[in-house]
C-alpha cells in the first residue's frame, strides 16, 4: 500500500479520477446556473433543494470539498516533484515545438482557478453558511435568485469571473482529455472522446461566461 501511495502512476491515476469527478460536478453546477437565465423559479427550487437536502449537504458536499482539496494538493505535490526531476534547466527549451501551452501550464491555470474558488466561496458559500448557521434565518426558498443576481452588479467581480472561466477553459482543454490517458483509456474510441472533451472544455466555461454577463447586463 505504501508503494502505491508513492507510485507516480498511482498519483496520476488518483489525480485523473478527482479531475473527472470535478468535471461531472461542473456539468451539474452549470445546469443549475443555466436555469437562473431560463427559469428563475426553477433556479430557486433547485438551489433550495441543494441547500437543504440532507444527502447533498451531509454527503455530497463533503465529498466535493474533499475532491477539490485533493485535486489542488496533489497538483502542487506533483508539480514540486516534477521540478525536482530537472535540477538544471535548459538554456534553450522549445516547448511549443512539441506540446500545447495548456498542457505545459496546468499548474498556472490551476492556480488561477484556485484563486477564483477563494473568491467564489467568499461570494456565495461563506454568506450561505452565515445565513443558515450563524444568523439562523428561517428557510426562504425564494431568496437564491435575487442573491445570485445581485453578485453580478459589480463589473470588477463579473470581469474576474469571466477571466477565471477562460483559465478554466484552458485547464479543461488539456486536463479532461488527459485524465482518460492517465486512467489507461487510450484506444479506438479515444479520438471521439477527445472531441467530446474539447467541446465540453469550450462550451461549459463559455456558458458560465454567458450567465455572468447576462446577469451583469440585466442589472445595468
Partner 1 sequence: MKLTLKIWRQENANVKGKMVTYPIDGIEGDMSFLEMLDVLNEELINKGDQPVEFDHDCREGICGACSLQINGEPHGPDKLVTTCQLHMRSFKDGDTIVIEPFRAKAFPVVKDLIVDRGSFDRIQQAGGYVSVNTSGNTIDANSIPVNKHDADDSFAAATCIGCGACVAACKNASAMLFTSAKVSQYALLPQGQVEATERVQNMVRQMDIEGFGNCSNTGACEIECPKGISLENIARMNREYMSATSKG
Give SS3 for 184. Answer: coil
Measured from the CB atom, is 104 or 137 closer to partner 1?
Answer: 104
Closest approach, Cβ 98 to partner 1, in A, equals: 4
Question: Which stretch, 86-94, 129-137, 163-171, 191-199, contacts partner 1 (CB under 8 A)?
Answer: 86-94
Q: Where are the alpha helices (DSSP H) in the chain?
A: 2-6, 8-38, 40-52, 54, 61-84, 101-104, 106-120, 126-129, 143-151, 155-182, 190-219
Q: What is the dihedral of CA 133, 155, 39, 128, to 10 degrees?
A: 0
- In angstroms, the CA 32 to CA 30 distance is 5
Residue list 104-133, contact with partner 1 (CB under 8 A): 104, 106
Measured from the CB atom, is 148 or 182 closer to partner 1?
Answer: 182
Q: How many residues does the chain have?
A: 220
Question: Which stretch, 142-150, 163-171, 183-191, 193-201, contacts partner 1 (CB under 8 A)?
Answer: 183-191
Residue 138 engages partner 1 in binding (rule: CB under 8 A): no
- Give me the phi and psi of 169, to 5 degrees please: -60, -45
Question: Which stretch, 88-96, 152-160, 165-173, 194-202, contacts partner 1 (CB under 8 A)?
Answer: 88-96
Query: Given candidates 38, 55, 58, 94, which one binds partner 1 under the rule CB under 8 A?
Result: 94
- In angstroms, the CA 64 to CA 29 distance is 12
Where on the chain is the footprint of partner 1 (CB under 8 A)? 3-4, 6-13, 78, 81-82, 84-95, 97-100, 103-104, 106, 174, 177-178, 181-187
Amino acid at each position: 500500500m505504501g508503494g502505491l501511495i508513492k507510485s507516480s502512476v498511482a498519483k496520476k491515476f488518483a489525480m485523473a479520477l478527482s479531475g473527472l469527478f470535478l468535471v461531472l460536478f461542473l456539468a451539474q453546477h452549470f445546469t443549475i446556473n443555466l436555469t437562473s437565465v431560463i427559469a428563475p423559479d426553477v433556479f430557486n427550487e433547485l438551489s433550495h433543494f441543494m441547500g437543504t437536502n440532507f444527502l447533498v449537504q451531509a454527503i455530497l458536499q463533503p465529498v466535493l470539498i474533499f475532491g477539490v482539496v485533493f485535486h489542488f494538493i496533489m497538483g502542487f505535490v506533483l508539480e514540486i516533484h516534477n521540478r525536482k526531476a530537472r535540477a538544471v534547466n535548459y538554456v534553450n527549451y522549445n516547448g511549443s515545438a512539441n506540446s500545447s501551452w495548456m498542457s505545459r501550464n496546468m499548474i498556472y491555470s490551476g492556480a488561477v482557478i484556485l484563486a477564483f474558488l477563494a473568491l467564489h466561496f467568499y461570494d456565495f458559500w461563506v454568506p450561505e453558511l452565515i445565513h443558515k448557521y450563524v444568523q439562523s434565518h428561517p428557510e426562504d426558498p425564494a431568496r437564491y435568485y435575487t442573491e445570485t443576481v445581485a453578485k453580478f452588479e459589480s463589473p470588477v467581480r463579473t470581469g474576474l469571473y469571466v477571466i477565471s472561466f477562460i483559465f478554466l477553459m484552458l485547464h479543461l482543454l488539456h486536463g479532461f482529455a488527459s485524465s482518460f490517458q492517465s486512467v489507461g483509456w487510450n484506444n479506438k474510441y479515444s479520438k471521439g472522446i477527445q472531441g467530446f472533451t474539447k467541446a465540453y472544455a469550450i462550451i461549459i466555461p463559455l456558458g458560465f461566461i454567458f450567465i455572468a454577463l447576462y446577469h451583469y447586463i440585466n442589472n445595468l
